[in-house]
Amino acid sequence: MSSPFQQQMASLRQPEQQEMLRNIGRGIEKESLRVNPAGFLAQTPHPAALGSALMHSSITTDYSEALMEFITPVSTSIEESLQTLEDIHSFVYSRIGDEILWSTSMPCQLGDDKDIPVAQYGSSNVATMKTVYRYGLGHRYGRVMQTIAGIHYNFSMPQAYWEDAWRSAGKPGCLQDYISERYLGLIRNFRRYSWLLIYLFGASPAVCGSFLRNRDNHGLQPFGDGHSLHLPYGTALRMGDLGYNSDAQKDLRICYNSLPNYVETLRQAIMQPHPDYARFSCGRGGDYQQLNDSLLQIENEFYSPIRPKRVTRSGETPLHALTERGIEYIEVRCVDVSPFAPLGLDAQEIRFLDTFLLFCLFKDSPPCDDAEQDGMATNMEAVVSRGREPGLRLRTWSGERPLADWGKDLLESMRDIAEALNTAHDSRGYTESLREQLAKIADPELTPSARVLREMREQGLPFFRVGLGYSQRWAQQFREHALSPEKITAFEEQARRSLQAQAELEAEEEISFEQYLANFYEQYATLPRP
């Protein structure tokens, strides 16, 4: 008798399933530091010609004024998403003078914390909240860490798929609860196997020495003349202790076994004071150094490689949106910016991400206990720091297993999905991408992390110089890419409207920031308990 997974694989050839595969929704959020021509962090404010960072739907900032974020709308076409991202880059380059966008996840040369300008969004309450949140991150983790860039990949299945799957399952409960449960199953499997993405696409095995100027317990090794630090078999240092992991969050166990439990574990982390952060003011005498003194100020502070998401309404918390309307899509957050691709990723990587996420969705996904969570964390740490180490073994349910063997088996298990995607899109791209990943398993030197270190070694250059070289190369390419007059006009109008929307929001403000913040946090207090 075939397993449910095998039955699902067989059904992918059916016309209705093929239509489903053609209508997967995806969106890309790509971060890049703005740097001056010499490769140092830009000290200039977010250019007004790009519009309002608060209200613009495609061009905004993340932590710093210099950390730009480009957002594509939801699309069912990989080519369309990448073209939109390319157009955004080209327009930005036409408005930032001689500045360039940094080409890697790990940052350029940096000064001290004081040299990293925190993003500003205007005088409205929501703008103040965004900036205060960032001040809080700086106090808690240091501003330097907040200069790390990444790519977030948003993925959703079409509504028709969910309705068909729900009917086939016998209509258990309501449809939205079924959708949320299935997305949580995807997330649990993603957490089980995301080490594979880190191995295949990690592109941050080294950092500029300036990133760790004031730290001596980092565990990295000097590279060459010591201007760079690295791990010989490292893959994605941004996903380890140097990046978006913190000692305070290490004991935080977020439960993905049900949506109510996920919401409740995050809610507690947001509502319960944390002694380490009590020294930072959260409003005493009007001084806001952070939003609150809890382990998490808001949901976004939980640094997870994947998140369940729902588009929020104005002033609504993400947890309230999830509770009221369920999971709408998932956000993958562990993708490095690749220096080898002008946009930081390419179509082949996206094709594999789609294949991988469908595998995580279709494969049986039992609940996860604390022991398994510990194993996931151990595997992630091992691949981040030693992913290309010969003979590296990872933890499985039945004991340890060589990464190469496990990775190959996982990729082979995705072959039917890749072939079905090929058929749906009349392309060979998905199986070709799968073949490329199998080659990386067979030869670690083909991975992006190995390529970065090889270029540093063969060219005798520190990490900073390699990053600057690619940044300059892609800058020239984007500056030579002429946008049509129609696209330029559309971007200019979008910028104008965003500035107008910000001005209107600031003029309409009627309550104090203190009251705004109290209303916001009241949503957490009133969430239903599981």
User: Which tokens hold the place of 153?
Assistant: 């990949």
Q: Which helix (H) or strand (E) holds 221?
A: strand 221-223
- Mind giving me the DSSP string for 167-206? HHTT--S-HHHHHHHHHHHHHHHHHHHTHHHHHHH--BSE
d(CA 15, CA 395) in angstroms, rounded, equals 39
* Placement of tokens 């300036």 in the chain: 210
Cα dihedral 358, 361, 362, 367 sign: positive
Query: Across the strands, what pairs with 347?
Result: none
d(CA 295, CA 273) in angstroms, rounded, equals 7
| pLDDT at residue number 12 | 85
Q: Are 263 and 319 in contact (CB under 8 A)?
A: yes
**What interhelical angle do 318-325 and 259-271 show, nearest 10?**
160
- Residue from 503, 487, 509 nearest 58 by CA: 487
Q: Write phi, then psi, for 221 (nearest 5 degrees).
A: -110, 145
- Mind giving me the DSSP string for 277-307? GTTS-BSGGG-BSSS-SBS-SSGGGS--SEE
Cα dihedral 503, 506, 510, 516 sign: positive
Q: Are 182 and 44 in contact (CB under 8 A)?
A: no
Q: Does residue 101 sit in helix, strand or coil?
A: strand
Instruction: Please name the residues in contact with 217: beta carbons below 8 A apart, sequence gap of 6 or more.
Output: none
| pLDDT at residue number 9 | 79
User: Which tokens hold the place of 303?
Assistant: 């640094």
| pLDDT at residue number 245 | 54
Q: Are 50 and 495 in contact (CB under 8 A)?
A: yes
Residues in the chain: 530
| Mean pLDDT, 10 residues at a time, the chain of 530 residues | 74 87 97 97 97 98 97 98 98 98 96 93 97 96 93 97 93 96 98 98 96 83 90 96 68 90 96 93 93 96 95 95 98 98 98 98 95 94 97 94 98 96 96 98 98 97 97 97 95 98 95 96 92
d(CA 512, CA 38) in angstroms, rounded, equals 43
d(CA 138, CA 317) in angstroms, rounded, equals 22
d(CA 398, CA 355) in angstroms, rounded, equals 26
Q: How far does Cα 286 stand from its chain's mean position? A: 33
DSSP state at residue 391 = T
| pLDDT at residue number 2 | 63
pTM of the model: 0.96
Q: Are 83 and 17 in contact (CB under 8 A)?
A: no
| pLDDT at residue number 482 | 87
d(CA 403, CA 249) in angstroms, rounded, equals 27
* CATH level 2 (architecture), domain 24-387+443-525: 2-Layer Sandwich (3.30)
Q: Are 59 and 48 in contact (CB under 8 A)?
A: no
| pLDDT at residue number 251 | 73
d(CA 311, CA 19) in angstroms, rounded, equals 25
